């Protein structure tokens, strides 16, 4: 076939593989690939360039020209500098060490050489990184095939692309070329970092607002440089990213942002829960609570169990502080004087967001905080504070936020529980 002749003897591959390749039209118009090489070339093809070196040792020494055969090994060493993890390096180049290739064609007739077992995704990245990133499907010899499909010699491969399609982590389970694996990993890490930066910035910005400070004002202050230096972050973006993926606990950052003397001075300010109580306590109707047999009573929502609209609730009359509203079954209220309990219920037209905390136990891995937070974002809930404590391969993540409906809270808990790596979700 015209244009299907490859002379790897005159121009050996980077691993010194040598052979003549051509493709002819056989019976039933089927393409047939033919490879021609010498015994010595076949030995190199089967056992690699080290076999050729050993052969020369047994036949009277090493030809100086053979030094060129080890240029490929130097290229491997250079590639290793870019990969810190030895296992990742081995996995990336393992398949490239073997010259068992397949030859496939683009719709225009161009030949692409890939390792045996390569898939349409490997082919897409061999064409161009952007083709790989936008790969949404493939046709092989005119038929739609799964992206996991293994290509054979002579296949004509057409990649279907979409602007809205992106690499999936699942692709790493079946692609085999180091180019495809490397490009996919870089893309996923870049996207994960973008999400972590966005999340970390939002969390820090909200925490600063709670302390009457804007993010722009903080970044312009001398304190910002001191905070970056304290946490060894070269830029604000790096600080956001570390907060977003849970490597930095937000309370630890805020301890550095606000000096201790300011913290002491601000300790007299109302807390997050107290501010909520102050907003609703002045008017029983606005609190959304009905108290049986009482009018115009001060209403407080218990911090020990943080009830939200829809929870079964009970009330307890405090001394001089109105009625404290607890979730029914709260251990704290069961210990209190039963004579001072009072029946309470939620008003029908309730419209108030109350503070809630969730404890999420997960595997200790990078990005889990960002994954959990995406469930909150999908449900329109803003996280006011998040923290992470890691130990023995497990992580305890705390999320504090406001919500005004028990059904939405349950939906968030179900969504978080379905995430990969999440072990337990508990309301505290």
- Please provide the DSSP assignment of 12-35 as one string: --TT----EEEEEE-GGG-EEEEE
The Cα angle at residue 222 between residues 220 and 224, in degrees rounded to 5: 70
Kindly list the distances between the CA atom of residue 83 and the CA atoms of 19, 173, 176, 303, in Å, as whole numbers in the listed order. Answer: 32, 19, 17, 49
- How many Cβ atoms from other residues are within 10 Å of residue 73's Cβ? 11
pLDDT, tens digit only, all 428 positions of the chain = 666 678 888 777 766 788 888 888 877 777 888 889 898 888 777 666 555 444 444 555 455 555 555 555 665 666 666 566 676 666 666 545 544 688 899 998 888 889 989 999 999 999 999 999 999 999 999 999 999 999 998 899 999 999 888 998 899 999 999 899 999 999 998 888 888 888 888 888 888 887 777 888 888 888 888 888 888 888 888 888 888 877 778 777 887 887 543 443 344 344 444 444 444 433 334 357 888 766 666 788 888 888 888 889 988 887 666 788 898 888 777 777 777 788 888 887 777 788 899 999 998 887 788 888 889 888 888 888 888 888 888 888 888 899 988 889 999 999 999 998 899 999 88
**pLDDT for 283:** 37
- Provide the pLDDT for residue 270: 44
> For 198-249, how does the pLDDT look when each residue is reduced to its tens digit (9 = 90+)?
888 888 888 888 777 788 888 888 888 888 888 888 888 888 888 887 777 8
Q: What is the pLDDT of residue 149?
A: 94
- CB contact at 8 A, 326 and 385: no
Sketch the domain layout of the chain as residue ranges.
Answer: 6-97, 101-176, 190-266, 272-346, 354-427
Following DSSP, what letter does each residue of 357-387 receive, concatenated?
EEEEEEE--TTHHHHHHHHHHHTT--EEEEE
How many angstroms separate the most distant Cα atoms in the chain? Answer: 108
- Looking at the chain, how many residues does it have? 428
Second-level CATH architecture of 354-427: 2-Layer Sandwich (3.30)
What are phi and psi for residue 384, nearest 5 degrees? Answer: -85, -25
Contact 118, 176 (CB under 8 A): yes
Question: Do 313 and 300 form a contact (C-beta atoms < 8 A)?
Answer: no
Element (H, E) at 140: strand 135-140
The sheet with strand 422-427 has its strands ordered as: 383-391, 394-403, 354-363, 422-427
Nearest to 33 by CA among 44, 43, 25, 45: 25
The partner residues of 145 in beta bridges, in order of sequence, read 138
Residue 288 has a pLDDT of 75
Assign domain 101-176 one CATH number from 3.40.800.10, 3.40.50.360, 3.10.20.30, 3.30.450.20. 3.10.20.30
Output the pLDDT for position 331: 79
Q: Is residue 238 classed as helix, strand or coil in its secondary structure?
A: helix
Structure tokens at 372: 């959990």
Q: How big is the chain by its Cα radius of gyration, in Å?
A: 32
In this prediction, residue 337 carries a pLDDT of 74
- Please report the pLDDT score of residue 100 as a whole number: 67
Q: Between vectors from CA 248 to CA 247 and to CA 250, what angle results, nearest 5°?
A: 140
């Amino acid at each position: 076939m015209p244009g299907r002749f490859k002379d790897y003897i005159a121009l050996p591959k980077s691993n010194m593989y040598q052979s003549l390749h051509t493709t002819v039209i056989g019976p039933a118009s089927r393409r047939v690939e033919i490879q021609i090489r010498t015994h010595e070339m076949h030995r190199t093809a089967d056992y690699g360039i080290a076999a050729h070196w050993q052969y020369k040792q047994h036949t009277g020494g090493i030809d100086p020209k053979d030094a060129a055969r080890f240029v490929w090994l130097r290229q491997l060493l250079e590639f290793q500098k870019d990969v810190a993890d030895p296992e990742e390096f081995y996995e990336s180049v393992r398949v490239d060490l073997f010259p068992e290739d397949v030859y496939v064609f683009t719709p225009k007739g161009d030949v692409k050489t890939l390792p045996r077992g390569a898939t349409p995704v490997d082919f897409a990245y061999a064409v161009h990184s952007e083709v790989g990133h936008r790969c949404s499907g493939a046709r092989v010899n005119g038929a739609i095939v799964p992206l996991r499909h293994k290509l054979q010699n002579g296949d004509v491969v057409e990649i279907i692309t979409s602007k809205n399609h992106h690499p999936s982590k699942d692709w790493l389970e079946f692609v085999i070329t180091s180019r495809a694996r490397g490009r996919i990993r870089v893309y996923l890490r870049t996207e994960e970092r973008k999400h972590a930066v966005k999340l970390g910035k939002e969390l820090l910005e909200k925490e600063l607002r709670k302390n009457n400070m804007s993010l722009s004002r903080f970044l312009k202050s001398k304190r910002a440089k001191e905070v970056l230096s304290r946490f060894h972050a070269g830029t604000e973006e790096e600080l956001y990213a570390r907060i977003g993926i849970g490597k930095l606990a937000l309370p630890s950052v805020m301890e550095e942002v606000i000096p201790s003397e300011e913290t002491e001075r601000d300790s007299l300010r109302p807390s997050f829960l107290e501010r909520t109580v102050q907003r609703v306590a002045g008017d029983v109707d606005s609190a959304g609570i009905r108290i049986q047999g009482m009018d115009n009573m001060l209403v407080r929502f218990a911090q020990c169990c943080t009830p939200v609209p829809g929870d079964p609730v009970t009330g307890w009359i405090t001394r001089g502080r109105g009625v404290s509203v607890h979730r029914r079954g709260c251990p704290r209220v069961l210990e209190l004087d039963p004579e001072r309990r009072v029946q309470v219920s939620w008003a029908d037209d309730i419209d108030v967001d109350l503070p809630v905390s969730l404890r999420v136990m997960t595997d200790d891995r990078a990005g889990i905080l960002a994954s959990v937070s995406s469930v909150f974002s999908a449900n329109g809930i803003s996280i006011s504070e998040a923290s992470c404590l890691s130990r023995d391969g497990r992580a305890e993540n705390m999320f504090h936020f406001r919500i005004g409906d028990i059904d939405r809270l349950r939906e968030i808990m179900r969504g978080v529980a379905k995430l990969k790596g999440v072990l337990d979700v508990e309301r505290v």
